[in-house]
Amino acid sequence: MSVLIGRKIRKVYGKKSTAQEVLKGIDIEVQKGEFVGIMGPSGSGKTTLLNVLCSIDHPTEGIVEINGQNLRGMKEKALANFRREQLGFIFQDYNLLDTLTVKENILLPLSISKQPKAVVESRLKELVGILGISDILNKYPNEISGGQKQRTSAARALIANPTLVFADEPTGALDSKSANALLTNLETINQQKNATIMMVTHDPVAASFCSRVLFLKDGAIYTELYKGDKTRQQLFQQILNTQSVLGGDGYDA
């Protein structure tokens, strides 16, 4: 089942002589339960693609469908409701509210829902258990580590059982131990809960947790790798090899 379909996606900034085509007619499809990584050298268009797919930005041409809903042409209010009900977001800088506890931050997407309290509490308990943050629910963001903040952000993104979770460099501000813990958690949630995740990353270690890695170059899809029966180490090596062909050192956020 296709959760996301993008067809002939173009994104152009500026006009006439100053126009810059950042995305050049990209076709992309994501199936239910996939963990998809997006990689590419600096300027390849990976963050622009993520922003267009998640409706933060609008394509100049082409269509984006999520869960059968064509996002192009939707009015802002309808789009805002769609994001709240269907999408989850994990950002590099956490975007937590300092005046709310960890639990309150996680439950924020459900603040206007009418779901029974018992259902919400059960979902919260399961999610924070997987993410290893059950013991910090009553703390505030300034009382926890960066890794705990990002796992709180992940719980917030997943609490409403979204159709698709978008993660933009989620390990970018974390040390290697915290990054590995978060990625392991996301991999577990992807496999156990069949959550569909799309992640932009410059880090081959992070990308090796994905089931598929898509590489962009100059605004177009260059190639993609499938994990299949490979080990994470084998996929990691393939990612390094592909980066080397693409230019290697130019990878950044």
In tens, the pLDDT along 183-193 reads 999 999 999 99
Residue 165 lies in a domain: yes
Whole-prediction pTM: 0.92
Q: What are phi and psi of 135, to 5 degrees?
A: -90, 5
Strand-pairing partners, residue 188, are: none
Is 192 inside any structural domain? Answer: yes
User: Is the residue at 54 inside a domain?
Assistant: yes
Strand order in the sheet with 69-70: 20-31, 2-13, 61-66, 69-70
Residue 24 has pLDDT above 80, yes or no: yes
Q: What is residue 100's DSSP assignment?
A: S
Kindly state whether residue 118 falls inside one of the protein's structural domains: yes
Q: What is the total count of domains within the chain?
A: 1
Q: Which domain holds residue 52?
A: 2-246
CATH code at position 32: 3.40.50.300
Percent of the chain with pLDDT over 90: 83
Sequence letter at residue 127: L
Q: In angstroms, rounded to a whole number, what is the distance separating the alpha carbons of residues 52 and 23?
A: 10
The pLDDT tens digits of the residues spanning 226-248 come to 999 999 999 999 999 999 998 75
